[in-house]
Chain A
Amino acid sequence: MKQAVYLALVLLALLHQDFWFWDDPSLVLGFLPIGLAYHLVYCVVTALVWYLALKYAWPEDLESFAAAKDSDEVNRQ
């Protein structure tokens, strides 16, 4: 699952380059240029993927690493 999350992040980076809407001035909901609407949806999807990253790719060992001391430091103390 962790690899799937990382793959989704790479895919998101690729999907940022929406050349298919580059010259399209059409409007969504009557006021939102489609090139802008796409990137608004992109932000929401990005937040969802990051939520999945928290769930499946969280580095569990960070807390204990931060709390641990090096042997050198322990000796100094």
Chain B
Amino acid sequence: MTSLVIMSAYLALLLAVGLVSNRFFRGTARDYFLASQSIGPVLLVMSVFGTAMTSFALVGSSGEAYRIGIGVFGTLASWSALVHVAVFFFVGMRLWAVGKRHGYVTQIQYFRDRYESDFLGLLLFPILVGLVIPYLLTGLLGARGVVRSMTQGAFPELFPATQGAVPPWLTGLVICGVVLVYIFHGGLRGAVWANTFQTCVFMISGVVAFSMISSKLGGLEAATRKVLEAHPEHLMRGSLISQIDFLTYGLIPLSIGTFPHIFQHWLTARSASTFRLSIVAHPIFMMILWAPCVLIGVWATSATLPDGSLIVPPGSPPNTELALMVDRLTTPILGGLLGAGILAAIMSSLDSQFFCLGTMFTTDIVVHYFGKERFDDRRRVRLARMFIVLIVGVSYLLSLAEPRGIFTLGVWCFTGFTSLFPLVFLSIYWRRSTKAGAIASVAVTAAVWVLLFRDGGYGSNADYKFWGLMPVAINFFASLFTMIVVSLLTRAPSEETLRKFFLAGPARRAPLREGLAADQVRG
């Protein structure tokens, strides 16, 4: 009960932060969608990190470490320390520059112009929405699991079906409601402010949880010693993960380059130098967040209560390992604070995902097809708010369906986004990439993804492989190969488009540098 009160207080505080941000709303669509591109380095690093890390990072990582041991840190955290930042540096900053120059709000606007194709936008729209929604659902499923584990026995008469725990439908409803209120009122600035607050909360909570749990288990050495005795295979990679899988996981963090919600956050940056802090801090933040969760997950395999029973018994529902450890080994007050931290990690992604979907429906469909001139700023903001309400409602209803393992569901979404990476990367660095190449690449990505997802039992088979490889490798290279081959076989983009994105200059030079040089010559 105490945990629940603290988590409720946290949600109320979050609402307040979001609503206060509304006081800074300037009333324009640009302000609502991009916070007037006024975000500085600290808010950018916190909001992008908070958005990139979801329940996948906290609840999913500890759950996966419980299953396969320490290897999970290398598969995603340390790969992301390198690859995420490479994407910020080589892709994100360049998209920011192009976006700022041409006034883009969404990825689809950029791709439509870059590849001179309205159809490409229409093709990409359902794919991006279709990938964001399951990714978003991983957050809702994570929140439900956490609250259920942490409130067990609190309301035995009110909720007998869940052994007195707050039922999943109610948790989902409250989470969706809170997020909806602050993004509805504050727009992307509300999400950025709330994310910054939430990132602080979940990072501090993770460290506090780690320290308290290790102390309750008799100290760091004792906690690990128990694992060494009962499950030594969890302290190495051994046969729990193959070398090829470990390597292939390096492709997964490329997905951050194609997340529509991250694209929108990048565009909020005040200047290119705003990215500097993100580039150095991101690897350190990855380490601070993931290492405690992975260790807690590994300890959970062998941690026992004073009566000798396992804290996380075999057969416990997936995604509940972290919550069970927190609940059984800390005081209710700290348990509540840590529960709030887990919710913070989850909600800091949900808000941006909901918001970007609302932005895409407004910008890429309604305003694009019904005419820009028909929608002034006020109508655009009203439209976006209407879509946000609709998307939150649909997502909530979908979350009531049977949950899959968070990690597995997340990996499938990342597979799809990673496979779109050649599209974005080649659009920036390869002048010869064509509209036909882009369309073919997106179509092949979608088709291969659907086939593999079906073959993998719709996410039910966590260890699914095709030709001995993870689906992401097959899908990524199919997309890359198609893009290159079809582009080479079809007509190059028009000179007008090349001038807009690459402008004049020797083809071998970096596109943005060419653009600048051409501007200087003209100017």
Residues on A close to B: CB < 8 A?
Answer: 9, 12-13, 16-19, 21-25, 27, 29-33, 35-36, 39-40, 42-44, 46-47, 50-51, 53-54, 59, 61-73
Contacts and interface: CB of A to CB of B under 8 A. Distances in A.
Query: For the complex, would chain B's binding face be called helix, strand, loop or mixed by DSSP majority?
Result: helix
Contacts of B237: 22-23, 35
A9 to B, nearest CB: 7
A70 to B, nearest CB: 6
B431 interface: no
28 contacts: A13-B250, A17-B247, A22-B238, A29-B220, A30-B221, A32-B220, A33-B236, A39-B74, A40-B73, A43-B77, A43-B78, A44-B284, A46-B81, A47-B81, A53-B89, A54-B279, A54-B280, A59-B93, A61-B512, A62-B96, A62-B97, A62-B512, A64-B516, A64-B519, A65-B516, A68-B516, A71-B522, A72-B496
Task: Name the residue in A32, A46, A51 with the highest tally of chain B Cβ atoms < 10 Å from its Cβ.
Answer: A46
Contacts of A73: 102
Interface string B70-97: 1101100111011001100100011011
B27 to A, nearest CB: 23
Contacts, number: 152
Contacts of A47: 81, 280-284
A43 B94 contact: no
Query: For the complex, would chain A's binding face be called helix, strand, loop or mixed by DSSP majority?
Result: helix
A36 to B, nearest CB: 4
A54 B276 contact: yes
B81 A43 contact: yes
B100 A39 contact: no
A27 B286 CA distance: 22
Contact of B78 (A16, A62, A68): A16
A44 B81 CA distance: 9
B93 to A, nearest CB: 6
Task: Name the residue in A16, A50, A61, A66 with the highest tally of chain B Cβ atoms < 10 Å from its Cβ.
Answer: A66
A36 B515 contact: no
B236 A61 contact: no
A32 B294 CA distance: 11
Nearest to A57: B89
Given A17-B246, A30-B220, 18 more contacts: A9-B86, A16-B79, A22-B237, A23-B238, A25-B232, A32-B220, A35-B70, A43-B284, A44-B287, A47-B81, A53-B89, A61-B513, A62-B512, A63-B271, A63-B272, A68-B515, A68-B523, A70-B102
